[in-house]
Amino acid sequence: MSLLRRLIFGRKGKKNNNDDNNNYDDNRIPISKNIDKNLDILKEEFKDCDDIVYKEFLVGTDQSSRLAIAYVDGLIDKALITQNITKALMQEARGREPENIKKGLYKLIKEGNLSASEMEEVDFLTECIDAMLSGDTVLLIDGYKKAIIVGSRGWHMRGIDEPESEALVRGPRDGFNETLKISISSVRRRIKDTKLKVKYMKVGRRSKTDIALLYIEDIIDKEVLEEVRSRIEKIDIDAVLDSAYIEEFIEDSNYSLFPQLESTERPDAVAAAIYEGRVGILVDNTPFALIAPAVFTTFFESSEDYYERWPLAALMRIIRYAAAFISILTPALYIAITSFHPGILPSDLALYIAATRLNVPFPSFIEAFMMQFTIEFLRESGTRISGPIGTTIGVVGGLVIGQAAVEAGIVSPLMVIIVAITTIASFALPNYTFSIATRILTFAFMVLAASFGFYGIMIGLIVMGTHLCNLSSFGIPYTSPISVLGKFNDDLKDTFIRVPLPRMRYRPHYGKLKDEDLQPPSDE
């Protein structure tokens, strides 16, 4: 049994006779009237933590009343502490007459001296410890069984910059940063509606990471909302360091290559999703937000689709769908044609391909695998090295290695072109997590093509289609609205293409939305 428990309870977990007569959970440490005892418990809990600051005060003209504050250095705004707590306690409360102090020191300090905008009363030291570790300041008063938590969070944070992974030509230039409250305010600026609700949760036994669920109350499907909330509440892990932890715990299928939640660094993307009736999940200490539910078609959409005129947005949508199939199938088609079905090509083209591969010592399967792995090596190394050096490695590496491989007779020139097209197509997908799935599927289809030719590719497409049809995201079919044609035909106006905004009257059907009208009915 820990020292904290022994200080408060007997050896069997019972309450000491000297403490108050209130009943409480023996897993929580109640605040004692003796301030020394409270400070001893805090100091024992934070033993060998040199960044914990304790400061004691004596107030009253006779300096008979003791107070103490405790906080974690580096997590608090020191200017706020100086102005709202330290100055008030040392100058104003200290000059009170003893008889006035004794009448109600706790109420006097809380309602008369402290000018902080965020204050909360707590009854347990465990709550004080959690507040300190979150950047708040604890005020203890001798003779009182309550403590005051003063909001004082003020750690250094990164500025608001444009997300590098989701850059736009036209649109907002701000992105989330690692501070939860700043991220929430970025969404609030775009949804000036009292129906926008923000619900806080904590996940992680040790990290106690703050999580916020954002949704519009009179739009969201309550069943979807409760499913999201219940899955997050069931998470039991020591620490949550990024939203990716939450994503893996709450998605429907962990073994699927396809993401079932949308991740983004853009506040406008989260706001747009909330307007559609989805839930935004913001996690402290990470700039990546999650959006639930998400379906297959949402990963081909970009925020810029709604900032440009609709003809360009419709064309870009078609290009993205084509890019996904090119990224997945192009190397596999090359392997299948050269190894199994050269007869489908025109004679001149077939003879040219055969001539280019005349001095290549490897079969097309090995040739394609070597080049595809080389591109993945260059992509990964370029990602890990930031700045212009990473770009140089990708461009120079691709040119030098490709040219050298052709001259050495290891691969054919056509194979270099195919791998280049495949790589460029994967970059056309707006969602990075979804593009990872296409990159992995590329290798799977290459194996099938090398084994069975076109028949293997067809088997792979059937298996992939069946898997997508079986997937769901918080009860929403992953292939909707394609799989529910005839029921939600209006959703097709924002799927493969985007029609003009005045023609998009209804919200996408992510469950049974309370308010399906995106625009009022027209008079036409």
Q: Structure tokens of 462?
A: 């059937």
**Best CA proximity match to 298, nearest among 476, 71, 35, 76:** 476
**What does the pLDDT look like over 428-438, one tens digit per residue?**
999 989 999 99
Report yes or no on 522 lying in a domain: no
CA dihedral over 124, 125, 131, 133, signed as positive or negative: negative
Instruction: Between 358 and 96, name the one with better pLDDT.
Output: 358
- Is residue 512, in this structure, part of any structural domain at all? no
Asked, as a colleague might, if the bond just before 98 is cis with ω within 30 of 0, I would say: no
- Find the mean pLDDT for residues 174-181: 90
- Residue 484 in domain: no
Whether the CA torsion 206, 207, 210, 211 is positive or negative: it is negative
Task: Indicate the helix (H) or strand (E) that contains 263.
Answer: strand 262-264
Query: Within a domain: residue 158?
Result: no
The predicted model gives 45-72 an average pLDDT of 83
CB distance 119 to 149 below 8 Å = yes
How far apart (Å, rounded) are the C-alpha atoms in residues 449 and 367? 13
pLDDT (0 to 100) of residue 186: 93
Q: What is the pLDDT of residue 159?
A: 78
Side-chain-facing half-sphere of 37: CA atoms under 13 Å: 18
**Per-residue confidence (pLDDT) for residue 113, from 0 to 100:** 64
CA atoms of 93 and 60, how far apart (whole Å): 7
Mean pLDDT for the chain overall: 84
Model pLDDT for residues 440-499, shown as the tens digit of each residue: 999 999 999 999 999 999 999 999 999 999 999 998 999 988 877 656 667 788 888 888
3-state secondary structure of 190: coil
Residues 142 and 36 reside in one and the same domain: yes
Residues 124 and 27 sit within 8 Å (Cβ to Cβ): no
- From 272, 294, 316, the end of a domain falls on 294
Q: Confidence band (pLDDT; 50, 70, 90) for 14?
A: very low
CA distances from 417 to 381, 426, 487 (A): 21, 14, 43
Q: What pLDDT is recorded for position 388? A: 61
What pLDDT does residue 58 have?
A: 80
170 and 279 inside one domain: yes
pLDDT grade for 12, boundaries at 50, 70 and 90? very low
Q: Do 351 and 208 fall within a single domain?
A: no
User: Is 498 within the bounds of a domain?
Assistant: no
The pLDDT value recorded for residue 91 is 64
In 10 A of CB 189, how many CB atoms?
12
Residue 5 confidence (pLDDT) above 50 = no
Binned at pLDDT 50, 70 and 90, residue 294 comes out as: very high
Residue 20 pLDDT = 40
Which has the minimum average pLDDT: 177-186, 192-201, 371-380? 371-380
**In terms of domains, do 274 and 346 share one?**
no
pLDDT at residue 345 greater than cutoff 90: no
* 289 and 310 together in one domain: no
Please state, in angstroms and rounded to a whole number, the distance separating the CA atoms of residues 515 and 507. Answer: 8
**Residue 21 in 3-state DSSP?**
coil
CB atoms within 10 A of CB 59: 25
| 275 and 355 assigned to the same domain | no
pLDDT of 215-231, one tens digit each? Answer: 999 999 999 999 999 99
Q: How many domains, the chain? A: 3
The model's confidence at residue 347, banded by pLDDT at 50, 70 and 90, is confident
Does residue 267 share a domain with residue 173? yes
Instruction: Flag whether 14 is in a domain.
Output: yes
- Residue 389: its pLDDT value, please? 63
Boundary (domain end) residue, out of 102, 123, 150: 150
pLDDT band at 18 (very low <50, low <70, confident <90, very high): very low
B/e letters for 127-150, b = 16+ CB within 10 Å, e = fewer, are bbbebbebbbbbbbbbebbebbbb
- The pLDDT of residue 110 is 67
Answer for the pair 307, 230: CB distance below 8 angstroms, yes or no. Answer: no
Name the β-bridge partners of 201: 211
The residue range of the domain holding 23 is 3-150
Residues 102-114 have pLDDT tens digits of: 556 666 676 666 7
Largest Cα–Cα separation, the chain = 107
Rg (the chain; Cα; Å)? 31
With contact defined as beta carbons under 8 Å apart, do 143 and 33 qualify? yes
End-to-end CA distance of the chain: 75
**Residues whose CB is less than 8 angstroms from the CB of residue 123 and which lie 6 or more positions away in sequence, other chains included:** 24, 30, 31, 145, 146
- Which pLDDT belongs to residue 290? 96
- Do 91 and 178 lie in one domain? The reply is no
> For 111-162, what is each residue's pLDDT tens digit?
666 767 788 889 999 999 999 998 899 999 888 888 999 888 887 777 788 8
57-82 mean pLDDT: 80
Which of these ranges, 276-280, 321-325, 358-362, has the smallest mean pLDDT?
A: 358-362
Residues 176 and 87 in one domain: no
> What does the DSSP assignment read for 66-95?
EEEEEEETTSB-HHHHIIIIIHIIIIIGGG
Mark 455-485 as b/e (b = at least 16 C-beta within 10 Å).
ebbeebeeebeeebeebbbbebbbbbbbeee
The answer as to whether 249 is a domain residue is: yes
Strand partners, 216: 196
| Domain end (from 124, 150, 176) | 150
**3-state percent breakdown (helix, strand, coil) of the chain, nearest 5:** 50, 15, 35
Instruction: Give residue-wise pLDDT tens across range 219-264.
Output: 999 999 999 999 999 999 999 999 999 999 999 999 999 999 999 9
Provide the pLDDT for residue 38: 92
Instruction: Grade residue 400 by pLDDT with cuts at 50, 70 and 90.
Output: confident
Query: What phi and psi values does residue 176 have, to the nearest 5 degrees?
Result: -70, 155
Same domain, 79 and 201: no
- Asked if residue 241 belongs to a domain, the reply is yes
Among 484, 379, 385, 482, CA closest to 426: 379
Based on the fold, state whether residues 64 and 139 are members of the same structural domain.
Answer: yes
CB atoms closer than 10 angstroms to residue 415: 27
> How far from chain centre, in Å, is Cα 54?
35
